[in-house]
Amino acid sequence: MDTSGKSGSTISLYNARTGKIEKITPVIKTDEEWRAQLTPEQFNVSRKQGTEYAFTGKYHAFKEHGIYSCVCCGTNLFLSDVKFDSGTGWPSFSAPVSPLNVRTHNDTSGGMVRTEVLCARCGAHLGHVFDDGPLPTGKRYCMNSAALDFKKTP
């Protein structure tokens, strides 16, 4: 059962289009509901912590101006202004639109120690963040194209 809008609790998220912080209801769905909404690749990456192969995602070399959002719930995540070519084969960003819009946690899967990046509204797996990005943040948010949607801005 889709429980988005029914939990009664809200979280604060930054809306990159309006420049305002808004109170939003978290999105909670069953695997079956996510499968009905997403492509198999989107489901595997965003709901099952998968990853796409390097240099295969539609946004890794993409250069349009706009906002990258969560493919699952539409939460604004990254602006094209902070996207850079990391040479890794995944879209890379130096910072999210707001720390409110992402969560992180330690990921020790695959025998590695990394920091996983999740959507703060729906918990979608987006990718990982590393400390080898450009100044001023020094961060590289290495995201999966399959976890992102893009909306062009003027």
pLDDT tens-place string over residues 43-53: 999 999 999 99
What separation in angstroms does the CA of 37 have from each of 1, 32, 50, 85, 122?
A: 13, 9, 17, 30, 13
Q: What is the chain's Cα-based Rg? A: 15
Domain residue limits at 138:
11-152
CATH of residue 124's domain is: 2.170.150.20
Query: Is 129 among the domain residues?
Result: yes
Summarize pLDDT for 100-130 with one digit per residue, the tens. Answer: 999 999 998 878 899 999 999 999 999 999 9
Query: Is 6 among the domain residues?
Result: no
Residue type, 91: P
Number of domains in the chain: 1
At 8 the pLDDT is: 67
72 flagged as catalytic = no
- Least confident among 20-24, 41-45, 110-114, 130-134: 110-114
Query: Is 2 among the domain residues?
Result: no
Question: Does residue 136 have a pLDDT over 60?
Answer: yes
